[in-house]
Amino acid sequence: MRDSDRIWLTRAIALSQRSRSEGNHPFAAIVVDASGNALAEAMNDIHADCTSHAELVAVRTASAKFNPMQLRGATLYSSAEPCAMCAGAIYWSGIGRLVYALSEERLLQLTGNHPGNPTLTLPCREVFARGQRAIEVVGPLLEDEAAVSHRDFWR
């Protein structure tokens, strides 16, 4: 793990704690360009609509300002492994790299069968493998730290 990965992933995890404290599901994502500048950051927004996952909101924000060629060198940092919907958004945005904390498997252990998070057991690597361009995936990393914001949330 790069030092910058640890810094941005720790920031995404802290943002997931903020998301929880604001009454949303504890997920967050940050898009960072190749020079280390934050292009977008987002938390889940369950009050907006069911597709307002942090990764999707961050991708929408970055994509509104930058085209896929410009985002090719960007990294999306996520507090948890992106679901299939969010992985698709990352793919279509042109973002070239993903670093995530909590794995889908570990998240499922924390959420169980909670109706607020009906987990799709489809790793983002499998979604990306079906595409025509490669996306570098790094994770899971810092899972214990990322799990903190989920403890006792899904009960």
Report the 10 Å Cβ neighbour count for 123: 18
Paired residues of 41 in beta bridges: 30
CA 128 to chain centre: 14
Q: Choosing from 41, 55, 81, 104, which is the catalytic residue?
A: 55
Sequential DSSP letters for 108-155: HHHHTT-TT-------HHHHHHTSSS--EEE---SHHHHHGGGTTT--
Asked about 55 being catalytic, the answer comes back as yes
β-pair type (38-43, 136-138): unpaired
Phi, psi torsion values for 83, nearest 5 degrees: -70, 175
**Any idea which residues carry the catalytic annotation?**
55
